[in-house]
Amino acid sequence: MEQSVLIPRGRETLSGMLYQPDEEIRCGMVMCAPLFEERKSSHRVMVDAARTFAANGCAVLRFDYCGCGDSTGDFKNYSCPDWREDITCAARFMNGQTGMNRLGLLGLRLGASLAFEAARMNESFDFTVLWEPIIHGRRYFDYELRRKLIREMVTFGQSRVTRETLLKDLKDGQPIDLDGYAVTSRLFHDITTIDLIKAAAQGPRKVLLVHIAPSGAVPRELSALKEAGLDGGAHVDLISTEEDPFWNLVGLVECPSLIEKTKGWINLLTSNTGQPLNT
């Protein structure tokens, strides 16, 4: 069963979709979307994944962060700590709706980094699934700025700004437009200080890291994140799936392998043994 839901969140209201299994619920999961262009490109795969997980006994809540999508609020008033609180708020709501205490998080890209932090700060989350997390925020933000320049190049024939001028605006307290989102100095700071490897020693306890690419080896930084988590005493599995980076593509993209592998890991985790897949 699918239903749209409104989640009270202080003065704001989060808009979401709740997917409930028709039969017994084995666990619940809050899905954490990425931001900017990646949010738009990944939307349909996230919906497909939510439906598949729900059909497999896992209740799923997808929602929009404050200031994003259909949720209330002005984007420029919010940043990463607020969205982490949104995740916790969404999980509380889900617990109230389903009565399910065994809750996990699944995030993609920046949503994965937010999920990582939310789980790190709240040990009640049972598991955390990270699809291609942003490990170093500085590198990611630079990539997003370049994406803006290229969009301008395609629209106007030539980029009209440089990264240097954009960074100067941020430094001077002026928001910049990134894919229609007003990025403030505060958000810039919060994103560019993301360093999951540094934080992994006190990170979430049961983690599935997923590398998604049509070919090639697992990036070193993802392996380093796994090692840092293991060093901190967490159970961390790292798997690859040979599919296209759907968050970066325009058009119809399906990711059956990604969804099935994730479903398999959750199944093992929530089975009687409670032991995650060790791949």
Partner 1 sequence: MTEEKIEDRLKRMIASRLFLKIAPEAIEDNKSLMDDYGVDSVSLLELVVGIEEEFGIVIPDEEFSIKHFATVAALAAFVGSKMTAE
Residues of this chain that interact with partner 1 (CB under 8 A) are: 37, 41, 143, 146-147, 149-155, 157-159, 161-164, 214-215, 244, 248-250
Closest to partner 1 by CB, 58 vs 145, is 145
Closest to partner 1 by CB, 161 vs 197, is 161
Retrieve residue 241's tokens.
Answer: 């799936």
| Cα–Cα distance measured from residue 206 to residue 157, given in angstroms and rounded to the nearest whole number | 48
Closest to partner 1 by CB, 151 vs 235, is 151
**Nearest by Cα to 78 from 89, 88, 68:** 68
Cβ burial 19-43 (10 Å sphere, 16+ → b, else e): bbbeeebbbbbbbbbbbbbbbbbbb
Q: How far is the CB of 248 from partner 1 (least distance, A)?
A: 6
Closest to partner 1 by CB, 76 vs 147, is 147
User: HSE on the CB side for 245, CA within 13 Å?
Assistant: 11
Cβ contact 113:194 at 8 Å: yes
Q: How far is the CB of 154 from partner 1 (least distance, A)?
A: 4
| Cα–Cα distance measured from residue 58 to residue 104, given in angstroms and rounded to the nearest whole number | 10
Q: How far is the CB of 252 from partner 1 (least distance, A)?
A: 13
Closest to partner 1 by CB, 38 vs 82, is 38
| Cα–Cα distance measured from residue 161 to residue 212, given in angstroms and rounded to the nearest whole number | 32
Q: How far is the CB of 157 from partner 1 (least distance, A)?
A: 5
Closest to partner 1 by CB, 150 vs 201, is 150
Name the burial class of residue 44, with classes exposed (0-12), middle (13-18) and buried (19+) by CB atoms within 10 angstroms of its CB: middle
Q: How far is the CB of 75 from partner 1 (least distance, A)?
A: 21
| Cα–Cα distance measured from residue 226 to residue 208, given in angstroms and rounded to the nearest whole number | 9
Q: How far is the CB of 169 from partner 1 (least distance, A)?
A: 14
